[in-house]
Structure 1
Amino acid sequence: MSEFSKLIEKLKLIEALYSGATTPGERSAAENARQRIRKKIEQHKEMDPPLEYKFSLQNMWSRKLFVALLRRYNVKPYRYYRQRHTTVMANVSKTFVDKTLWPQFLELDKELTAHINDTAEKIINEAVFGDSSEAEEIRAIAHEG
């Protein structure tokens, strides 16, 4: 199994965890769970009304992942004119953000970031130079004057 396939499988397992599936049979029902989450969001709009959230994500891949996750749950990501590219706005309930969206994003982002970092490290070591460790820290020479 390739590293890419392993990452996809890991991300699917994390998704399955958040939608309540833990076995391969349950994973096939993950789409139903996702639909239930979408319905719950709609049903709880009165009790837990959507608020406008502003998320700032500096890493391009984290931002793409977050936007995809919002769209998965039928939440429309946007940003206002003149807002930075790092900003993602969304109208969602506090409960959904606290219990589903943000914890799931953090876990998926951790795996994705680790994979991207490992891949970049391998490419740099193999294609550029074998030592990509941090630069040595030296003490500055004191200036006399």
Structure 2
Amino acid sequence: MVANDDGLRARLAKLDELFRRGATEGERAAAGAAIDRLRDRIGSDTTETEVELKLSLLDVWSVHLFVAVCRKHGVRPYRYPRQRRTTIMVRISRSFFDHVVWAEFSGLQTELNIYFEETVDHLIRTAMHSDGDDSALDLVKIPSA
């Protein structure tokens, strides 16, 4: 069952790549339909129970990215009343969360952080004509009371 599940997931990844780079609308539609069929097979083969997971993310960009990844994989994120904007709840099987949703989110989050860092560094260099390097800050002793 695990080998079969891994095979289905590998085919799903290939179809997802085909869908993203599909040259024509017909290719994208065919790949999208195949992706849906494989996701249904993966979902119907699992006997693992769903658990409710609470995630506290660091910023709204992470929230946007996590919600997008969840929705891409058919997971419906939600919040309870009075929860913070950076808190997201999902009901999902733990293995699917770990191997698919969290793995994809983590990779994309790393790329997003690199992109933000490069963009901010570029803006500081070009617009402010400075390096913004905080490692060269002066260390000042805290005055004693």
Output the TM-score relative to the length of structure 2.
Answer: 0.71
C-alpha distance 39-141 of structure 1, shift in aligned 2 (>3 A): closer
Identical pairs, percent: 34
Output the TM-score relative to the length of structure 1.
Answer: 0.71
Q: Higher helix fraction: Structure 1 or Structure 2?
A: 2
Structure 1 position 33, deviation (Å): 6.1
C-alpha distance 141-101 of structure 1, shift in aligned 2 (>3 A): closer
Distance (Å, rounded) in 2 between the aligned partners of 1:18 and 1:69: 19
Greater relative contact order structure (CA < 8 Å, 6+ sep): 1
C-alpha distance 25-93 of structure 1, shift in aligned 2 (>3 A): closer
Please report the RMSD computed on the Cα atoms of aligned residues, expressed in angstroms. 2.9
Distance (Å, rounded) in 2 between the aligned partners of 1:18 and 1:120: 38
TM alignment of 1:18-97, pairs within 5 A: 19-21=12-14, 28=22, 31=32, 34-36=35-37, 38-40=39-41, 42-44=43-45, 47-97=47-97
C-alpha distance 37-94 of structure 1, shift in aligned 2 (>3 A): farther
Q: Which moved more, 1:25-34 or 1:63-72?
A: 25-34
Contact 2:78 2:88 in 1 (8 A): yes
In structure 2, what is the equivalent of residue 138 of structure 1?
A: 139
DSSP 3-state at the match of 1:67 = helix
Gaps of 5+ in 2: 1-9, 23-29
Structure 1 position 101, deviation (Å): 0.9
Deviations 1:38-60 (A, max 9, x none): 31453146x11211111111122
Contact 2:60 2:85 in 1 (8 A): no
Would you identify which runs of 4 or more consecutive aligned residues in structure 1 move more than 6 Å? none
Distance (Å, rounded) in 2 between the aligned partners of 1:89 and 1:78: 5
